[in-house]
Amino acid sequence: MKKQLIDLLKENVLLIFATVLILFLFSLIFVPKIKAFLGLQKEIKAQQTKIDKLSNKLNELNSYSKADLQSNLDLFIKVLPVEKDFYPIMTNVKNIFSQEELSLLDFQFNLGQVSTQSAQKNKKTNTENFFSFKLSAFGNIENFEKAVVRLENSIPLLSIDSLKIQNESSSASAILNNCTGALSLKSYYMPLSVSLGQVDKDLPKISGSLKSFLDKYSAYEYPVEAIYPAEGIIVGKENPFSGY
Amino acid sequence: MKEINLINTQRNKLFGFYQKVRIIKTIIMGLDLLLILVMGLVFLFYSISAKKLAANESKMRLIKEEINKLNENESILIATNERIINIEAITKASSPKADLFSLIKLFFVPGFSLTSLEVSSGKSSSIVGTCVDTQCLFNLNSKAEELKEKKFFSEFSIDNTSRKDSDPYEIKISLKQ
């Protein structure tokens, strides 16, 4: 019997060797390969998702006209300038008050640090980037009301912090004819980000709000003559109170 | 007496053993072939997947290059979006003063004369004025009640009413939208 077994093993030595080799290869190479294959499949799936995302982004970017985008940004830069832009504000106030027959008595800017290079934007929404200014004027309360409405519907964006109107003469009428108004205002700015966008990041979804914003702010008042002098802003060259 | 054929018995036993060995050999060979086939298929799929991965990689690189060509558009879009977010935040944080004017004008009942008007930051304001008689004071109060009822403002108070000799009544009103 023993002899028969030995003979049997001798007869099948090739099969035994092949089976051992296959099992050895299976455990040593094939199992890790299976794992690698599954990992590869996962990677391909992730890659495919990324490709879809990038393709969508590319299609979306291709659908925009550069001229339209630029004109939209130009408008929003007028609404929220990149730096403390007091020149259009001053021109706007001057125009509005002059047209509403209000005499500007006093005008005081508090610009603070002039260079906005140092104004680092570190928050997504930042309502702290502003400079304040005060003004006082003389005129009719009705005209003050009109001026306030126009100021609040003008760009660059500003907000009236406080307002005080004082009657200068005793009038029997409820309407103040000769009154002095003191306004404290804030004008906002926002520096441009140093780096914008990343290839892998999604594009912002602004199409919904963009239309309403464009409609709203393109109707706002912007000083036509707010064109900067070629050599830059020369403070004090033009008297903002001229014409009063 | 029955005979026992030892040779036949031994032969039968051996035949059964070899039969079993043959079956086992066939099974082992089948399994070996199956393992070889599976391994071959996995290697094939692996190489196909690896090629696909490389192809995807190059496709992605091409798309990224295309996107990079349009990076100016993207920058403009992001800058516009940032501005819109900030403009929304600013307009939400500030309260328009123009509405207050029209609200305050509603207080102008016959006989009332406005002396001063102060609107502070937020939505509160104060009005100082004069009323010629008690009827005017009554009308002013009724008007305030009516406006509060209609929710034109949240708070209303007459802070001070005074009169010197036969001068009109001086009245100070505080209100909050």
Model pLDDT for residues A205-215, shown as the tens digit of each residue = 765 677 777 77
Whether A79 and B83 lie within 8 Å, measured CB to CB: yes
pLDDT of residue B44: 92
Output phi, psi for A62, to 5 deg.
-70, -25
Most confident of A1-10, A93-102, A104-113, B162-171: A93-102
Task: Encode pLDDT of A213-238 as tens digits.
Answer: 777 887 787 776 555 554 444 444 45
pLDDT of residue A116: 52
Which of A21, A164, A171 is the best mutation test for B, with the most CBs of B within 10 A?
A164
Beta bridge partners of A186: A132, A159
pLDDT of residue A173: 52
Let me know: does A157 contact A188? Beta carbons within 8 Å.
yes
Whether B43 and A166 lie within 8 Å, measured CB to CB: no
- pLDDT-based confidence at A169, cuts 50/70/90? low
pLDDT of residue A41: 92
pLDDT of residue A235: 46
Whether A41 and B49 lie within 8 Å, measured CB to CB: yes
Task: Encode pLDDT of B99-125 as tens digits.
Answer: 777 777 887 888 888 888 888 876 788
Angle at A74 between CA A147 and CA A91, to 5 degrees: 30
SS3 B159: strand
Mean pLDDT (chain B, rounded) = 83
CB contacts, 8 Å: A164 with chain B: 116-119
SS3 A31: helix
pLDDT of residue A171: 52
Let me know: does A105 contact A126? Beta carbons within 8 Å.
no
pLDDT of residue A237: 46
Residue B83, judged by CB atoms within 10 A of its CB (0-12, 13-18, 19+), counts as: buried
Let me know: does B169 contact B130? Beta carbons within 8 Å.
yes
pLDDT of A9 above 70: yes
Strands (DSSP E) contained in A88-157 are 103-110, 130-139
Tokens of A48: 């495919």
| Orientation angle between helical segments A207-218 and B71-93, nearest 10 degrees | 70
pLDDT of residue A175: 55
Backbone CA torsion sign across B135, B139, B145, B148? negative
Size of interface A-B (CB pairs under 8 A): 201
Helix, strand, coil percentages in chain B from 3-state DSSP, rounded to 5? 65, 20, 20
**Beta-carbon count within 10 A of B80 CB:** 23
Q: 């914003």: which residue's tokens?
A: A213
**Mean local confidence (pLDDT), A82-98:** 84
pLDDT of B55 above 90: yes
Let me know: does A185 contact A158? Beta carbons within 8 Å.
yes
**Mean local confidence (pLDDT), A189-195:** 77
How far, rounded to the nearest angstrom, does the alpha carbon of residue B4 sit from its chain's CA centroid? 94
pLDDT of A7 above 50: yes
Whether A203 and B90 lie within 8 Å, measured CB to CB: no
Cα–Cα dist A43/A39, whole Å: 6
Residue A212, judged by CB atoms within 10 A of its CB (0-12, 13-18, 19+), counts as: exposed
Output phi, psi for A229, to 5 deg.
-65, 150
pLDDT of A38 above 60: yes
The residues near A140 (Cβ < 8 Å, ≥ 6 apart) are A101, A102, A175, A176, A177, A178, A179
Q: Please indicate whether residue B7 or residue A244 has the higher confidence score (pLDDT).
A: B7
Of A26, A72, A125, which is closest to B85 when you measure between CB atoms?
A125
Q: Which of A118-127, A195-204, B80-89 has the lowest average pLDDT? A: A118-127
Cα–Cα dist A211/A33, whole Å: 54
